[in-house]
Amino acid sequence: MKPITPVILCGGSGTRLWPRSRADLPKPFLPLVSEASLFEATLERCADPGLFAAPVVVAGGRHVAAVEAQVPFGGTARLIVEPSARNTAAAIALAALRLDPDAVMLVCPSDHHIADTPAFQAAAVAAATLAAQDWLVSFGIEATAPETGFGYLLRGEPIGDAGFRVSKFVEKPDAERAREFLASGHYAWNGGIFAFRAGAFLAELGMHRPAMLAAAQEAVARGHEDGARFHPDAASFGKIASESVDYAVMENTARAAMVPATMGWSDIGNWQALHAARAQDAAGNSACGPAELVECRNVLVESDGPRVSVIGLEGVIVVVDKGEVLVTSAAGAQLVGKLSGAVNQ
Amino acid sequence: MKPITPVILCGGSGTRLWPRSRADLPKPFLPLVSEASLFEATLERCADPGLFAAPVVVAGGRHVAAVEAQVPFGGTARLIVEPSARNTAAAIALAALRLDPDAVMLVCPSDHHIADTPAFQAAAVAAATLAAQDWLVSFGIEATAPETGFGYLLRGEPIGDAGFRVSKFVEKPDAERAREFLASGHYAWNGGIFAFRAGAFLAELGMHRPAMLAAAQEAVARGHEDGARFHPDAASFGKIASESVDYAVMENTARAAMVPATMGWSDIGNWQALHAARAQDAAGNSACGPAELVECRNVLVESDGPRVSVIGLEGVIVVVDKGEVLVTSAAGAQLVGKLSGAVNQ
């Protein structure tokens, strides 16, 4: 099999992980689960030269320094600097236009955690196999809870041994439908990991979003290289509508496929999700930084310096970072991005 | 009536209000309930010249600066500097020995909150009336909850109109007995506020703790004045056993009396007690310092600078002070003094 080209998207702002995640150094670039940042761990998962080509990283200008500090671009890795934020469809289009049409791209968000790298790589190979046959492939991540924060994929007919057709894309469900999806066993989470042949992706984009394709082509044609960096033209790129790749392409194509993936995945979408991904003691507590926990259960403490002393609490998250203190219930973790501190950065 | 001499004891360490209360600037000297410190508010309650003489303050050497910063000793107020901490019996003995034997002392802890000053002053007058008749008088504070953290007084026969004999001193009860005490209506809290004629106190001390009286007399005889400060002799004072005035005198005397006091009293014994004494919004929340509370009930936030954001919690206390962060349940507030940060100051 031809090497797969990892396309790493660094677009997320991670406001629900405020105050650790900040606008200037957001979630992908933080060592949240291990000593490596989520971005570094994403690159590491795609570093096997027997499977993968050099990566293409797509990031905003504000984060170029963070990207270059964490990945050695002296090699063959390349960076596409987005002039503005235009969501995933446009970001993937830029990468596809910079690659050989026959290259198989594996699109990976830079801010997810995957515990089982061999399982990830096996799914990547299966997805690349289908992508080489011009399927547009989503990773269908095994649903392990009735999550209302993710989109779902309804599994269709098998395509050989490698995967399945997607018979339906479902937007974030309410709690009752999420429980039905989980019970049925036919639904998987849409985790935002995709495999495409570059030319096939662009052909589908041209079919469903011709203006977006034209603007992306113009942005690339008028762009310029600067060492390993590529700068698309800002004016051309600015004309592109902000749309997710799901909405612009995947829900419209007749060739949507999925590969099942059971790989210890988490989008680390909020502090509660981070707590779940973390090593915990027998009482379910997890502390990073100086902390004393007394009579606590399922408590997460994160501190960048000040000592945190917690007594008699269950299911509470305490984060101290750069002069901000956050204390939230597990359920409240969903609301962190709406706090004044997170909004007014 | 002769003016009453307030004797203000500044001995408490306040470790259960860590991290706000610290060894160098403990609880009495902090503005916890209002803009005045508890010590300043204690002086203010005893400042009416129609009722009170100039106060005598008893404090350790470590806190002389804090005392003198908060009270003007250019006037007639006097300070007794304890060479070491020897509990309340010895502290009161020093003050009694420095006063005229016929002076009526009103012994007040410096770290309590009293919401109703007129009620306090009325109780002080009643107590002073009994003290002038050589009763040793405790304030019997109306019990409003089955508290297990206080000693109780069992009310005995009336003494004229001013008060009652104490028929029994009861040490901190368990929860069941505390509920019985509260239901009976015959018990009051022993809040550590006393009125004595100085000579009567010393006579009772000599009867029940002759060695303590002798050592205190020696400490005063060998002591020296330094402006408004008086320094008892350290070696003599160091020989005194640490005992509470309850244990050394009140439980032994045949002339123990009490005056009922319903005056919005709190010993501000922990963060939960402070929360109860504080002004609260409709949801029971109270915040001092920059804070954002979302979907919270009965939450107390105290911060000396960093913003504190709290989501989805009930009955939780968050204190940020001088680089320490405390998060505790209401029940856990009792354990704050045992935290590493509070113990190792």
Q: What pLDDT score does B77 carry?
A: 83
Three-state SS for A277-288 is HCCCCCCCCEEE
| pLDDT tens profile B64-78 | 999 999 986 556 789
Nearest CA-CA partner of A295 in A314, A282, A276: A314
Task: Report how far residue A84's alpha carbon sits from residue A81's, in angstroms, rounded to the nearest whole number.
Answer: 9
Chain B residue with CA closest to A335: the answer is: B311
Measured between beta carbons, which residues in chain B are less than 8 angstroms from residue A336? 309, 311
Q: Which positions in chain A have a beta carbon within 8 angstroms of at least one beta carbon in chain B?
A: 19, 292, 294-295, 303, 305-313, 316, 318, 320, 323-329, 331-333, 335-336, 338-341
Tokens for B25? 């600037």
Decide if pLDDT at B226 tops 90.
yes
Q: What pLDDT score does A336 carry?
A: 97
Residues whose CB is less than 8 angstroms from the CB of residue B86 and which lie 6 or more positions away in sequence, other chains included: B237, B240, B241, B242
Task: Report how far residue B104's alpha carbon sits from residue B199's, in angstroms, rounded to the nearest whole number.
Answer: 9
Decide if B204 contacts B219 (C-beta within 8 A): no
Q: What pLDDT score does A289 carry?
A: 96
Tokens for A115? 């515990």
Tokens for A26? 């957001």
Decide if pLDDT at B12 tops 80.
no
Task: Report how far residue A152's alpha carbon sits from residue A9's, in angstroms, rounded to the nearest whole number.
Answer: 21
Tokens for B174? 């368990």
Decide if B137 contacts B230 (C-beta within 8 A): no
Size of interface A-B (CB pairs under 8 A): 118
Q: What pLDDT score does A73 carry?
A: 58
Q: Which positions in chain B have a beta carbon within 8 angstroms of at least one beta carbon in chain A?
A: 19, 292, 294-295, 303, 305-313, 316, 318, 320, 323-329, 331-333, 335-336, 338-341
Decide if pLDDT at B345 tops 90.
no
**Domain B5-266 part of CATH 3.90.550.10:** yes
Tokens 């009763």 — which residue? B135
**How close does chain B come to A79, measured CA to CA in Å?**
37
**Inter-chain CB proximity B328 and A310 less than 8 Å:** yes
Q: What pLDDT score does B73 carry?
A: 59
pLDDT by residue for chain A (345 residues), tens only, comes to 789 999 999 987 889 999 999 998 999 999 999 999 999 999 999 999 999 999 999 999 999 999 999 986 556 789 999 999 999 999 999 999 999 999 999 999 999 999 999 999 999 999 999 999 999 999 999 999 999 989 999 999 999 999 999 999 999 999 999 999 999 999 999 999 999 999 999 999 999 999 999 999 999 999 999 989 999 999 999 999 999 999 999 999 999 999 999 999 999 999 999 999 999 999 999 999 999 999 999 999 999 999 999 999 999 999 999 999 999 999 999 999 999 999 998
**Inter-chain CB proximity A295 and B335 less than 8 Å:** yes
**Inter-chain CB proximity A325 and B306 less than 8 Å:** yes
Nearest CA-CA partner of A166 in A185, A138, A133, A146: A138
Task: Report how far residue B183's alpha carbon sits from residue B109's, in angstroms, rounded to the nearest whole number.
Answer: 28
Nearest CA-CA partner of A121 in A134, A135, A110, A108: A108
Q: What pLDDT score does A77 carry?
A: 83
Each as own residue / partner, the long-range contacts of residues B28-31 (CB below 8 Å, 24 or more positions apart, any chain) are: B28/B63, B28/B66, B28/B110, B28/B111, B29/B63, B29/B66, B29/B67, B29/B70
Chain A residue with CA closest to B303: the answer is: A325
The dihedral formed by the CA atoms of B223, B225, B230 and B234, expressed in degrees to the nearest 10: -30
- Out of B309, B312, B328, closest to residue A311 by CB: B328
Nearest CA-CA partner of B24 in B61, B58, B70: B61
**Inter-chain CB proximity A307 and B294 less than 8 Å:** no
Q: What pLDDT score does B75 carry?
A: 67
Nearest CA-CA partner of A250 in A88, A118, A79: A88
**Inter-chain CB proximity B295 and A332 less than 8 Å:** yes
Each as own residue / partner, the long-range contacts of residues A300-307 (CB below 8 Å, 24 or more positions apart, any chain) are: A300/A271, A300/A274, A300/A275, A302/A20, A302/A271, A303/B325, A304/A20, A305/B323, A306/B320, A306/B323, A306/B324, A306/B325, A307/B323, A307/B324, A307/B325, A307/B341
Task: Report how far residue A18's alpha carbon sits from residue A237's, in angstroms, rounded to the nearest whole number.
Answer: 29
Residue ranges covered by each domain of chain A: 5-266, 271-343
Decide if pLDDT at B130 tops 80.
yes
Measured between beta carbons, which residues in chain B are less than 8 angstroms from residue A310? 326-328
DSSP string, B64-109: HHHHHHHS-TTSS-EEEEESS--HHHHHHHHHHHHS-TTPEEEEEE
Residues whose CB is less than 8 angstroms from the CB of residue A260 and which lie 6 or more positions away in sequence, other chains included: A123, A140, A142, A155, A163, A164, A188
- Spell out a b/e string for B139-174, using b for 16 or more CB atoms within 10 Å of the CB, else e: bbbebeebbeebbbbbbbeebeebbbbbeebbeebe
Decide if A190 contacts A40 (C-beta within 8 A): no
Tokens for B339? 């935290």
Task: Name which of B288, B302, B325 to mutate to probe chain A: the one with the most chain A Cβ atoms within 10 A of its Cβ.
Answer: B325
Q: What pLDDT score does B74 carry?
A: 57
**Inter-chain CB proximity A324 and B310 less than 8 Å:** no
Q: Work out the percent of chain B whose per-residue pLDDT is above 90.
A: 94
Decide if B289 contacts B308 (C-beta within 8 A): yes
The span from the first CA to the last CA of chain B, in angstroms, equals: 46
| pLDDT tens profile B145-182 | 999 989 999 999 999 999 999 999 999 999 999 999 99
Tokens for A247? 């909405």
Measured between beta carbons, which residues in chain A are less than 8 angstroms from residue B341? 292, 307, 309
Distances (CA, A) of A47 to A40, A306, B283: 10, 37, 53
Task: Report how far residue A264's alpha carbon sits from residue B37's, in angstroms, rounded to the nearest whole number.
Answer: 54
Q: What pLDDT score does B164 carry?
A: 98
Tokens for B113? 């909150």
What is the average per-residue pLDDT within B291-312? 98
- Out of B303, B325, B329, closest to residue A311 by CB: B329
Give the three-state DSSP class for B330.
coil
